Structure 1
Amino acid sequence: MQPTIIKKEAFQAIGISITTNNELEMSSAGKIPHLWNQYFQEQITNQIPNKTTQTETLALYSNYESDETGRYTYTIGVPVSTVIDTPENMTSFTIPAATYAVFTTRKGPLSEIIAEAWQDIWNWSKENKRTFTTDFELYDERAFDPNDAQVDIYIALA
């Protein structure tokens, strides 16, 4: 899977967050599936003010402790025009302007395509410099059907 290289301006997002690491997420004790369940069950997107889109959800990886082996913050949310009025139970932040390698998954079940794409990204990372600042998965109208979805994954480059 070869990425497309793009520059993206800074933007803001609001969502719900956890702190985790990849070792935990590859076990049955992973926290990310529970966060997605909470996001949908509590209809978090409907509680976020100042949304800039109705069709995009982001899964953001930020506050990296080190590299893919360390702890990081995982946030599910949406892009917003301002972080003013962030609800108390949510996290807000600014994603800095950056150059990204954008990986587009194949179409398929979300549970398969995301894991596959990250394996490709980790292999690709052995020869390419990541910044480990903020990376994100973009879920748009192509991901509405979780059994036949396609997602873009943005990896910040050094």
Structure 2
Amino acid sequence: MRKRRTKMIGAKKKAFDTEPRMILLKEPILMLGMQVETGMKSVFRDVSRLGKRWQAFKRTGMIPNRKEPWAFVAVSKDHDQLNGRWNYLMGDVVTRVDAVPSGFASFAIPAGRYAVFTLRPPNRFAWGMTIGMAKRYIYAEWFPNSGFKPDSAISDFELHDERSTLKRGPSIDLYVAVKEA
């Protein structure tokens, strides 16, 4: 078993584990939320706007079949290598999807093998920077040396739970779909 290493931001804060834990997700994770098509030049703006729309909806308290304990997912999928665009979804984990209201999206995160990287930003305002750094590392450095390749069923997803809301030491898990190289 390889030793778990961490990438550093500055001299003190651990941003993310560079050696993931491998898991087999046995059941799909269902989510209900919203989506946007985005790309490298617009991802931060698009995700910020989508997040504001989703938070406004969440304040209504009308998320049917929301799973307890609470969990939120942000999914990147359907990457188009030619134009550098992909679909980005965010929403809450639900126990089932009965109907999808107009303007909303549902998605079943597929069961399968995932490399799970724990991300720890230096503060709650640095999520975007930390996630971007981790994804660059995973796809440019980790995959070429891992014995795995990305599974095309889904690119990756962030799982936010009660740990992501901590005032000190927040963290999330970034799940990256993998298959043997």
- TM-score category of the 2 structures, normalised to the smaller one: 0.7 to 0.9
1:45–1:71 Cα change, 3 Å:
farther
Instruction: Report the equivalent of 2:14.
Output: none
For 1:111 and 1:87, the matched residues in 2 are separated by: 28
CA-atom RMSD in angstroms:
2.4
Alpha-carbon shift at residue 45 of structure 1 (Å): 8.0
Checking the alignment, whether the CA contact within 8 Å between 2:164 and 2:171 is kept in structure 1 is yes
**2:61 aligns to what SS in structure 1?**
helix
Whether 2:62 is the aligned partner of 1:47: answer yes
Which string of whole-angstrom CA distances, capped at 9 and with x for unpartnered residues, describes residues 40-93 of structure 1? Answer: 2332683321112342110011222249x7321111111212211222221012
Question: Once structures 1 and 2 are overlaid, which stretch shifts more, 14-23 or 118-127?
Answer: 118-127
Change (3 A) 1:157 1:55: same
Q: Is the 8 A contact 2:67 2:94 kept in 1?
A: yes
1:78–1:142 Cα change, 3 Å: same
When residues 45 and 3 of structure 1 are mapped into structure 2, their CA distance, relative to the original with a 3 A threshold, is farther
Determine if contact 2:34/2:89 at 8 Å carries over to the other structure.
yes
Flag the structure with higher strand content. 2
1:91 aligns with 2:97: no
Q: Which runs of 4+ in 1 moved over 6 A?
A: none
Q: Report the Cα offset of residue 23 of structure 1.
A: 3.7
Q: Which runs of 5+ in 2 are unaligned?
A: 1-17
Q: How far apart in 1 are the matches of 2:100 and 2:63?
A: 7
Q: 1:114 to 1:5 in 2, by over 3 A?
A: same
Q: Which residues of 2 match residues 4-23 of structure 1 at below 5 A?
A: 4-8=21-25, 9-23=27-41
Whole-angstrom distance in 2 between the partners of 1:106 and 1:62: 23
Instruction: Flag the structure with larger Rg.
Output: 2
Q: What residue is the counterpart of 2:138 in the other structure?
A: 121
Distance 1:107 1:71, change over 3 A: closer
**What code does the residue aligned with 2:48 have?**
P
Q: For residue 13 of structure 1, report the CA deviation from its aligned partner.
A: 1.2
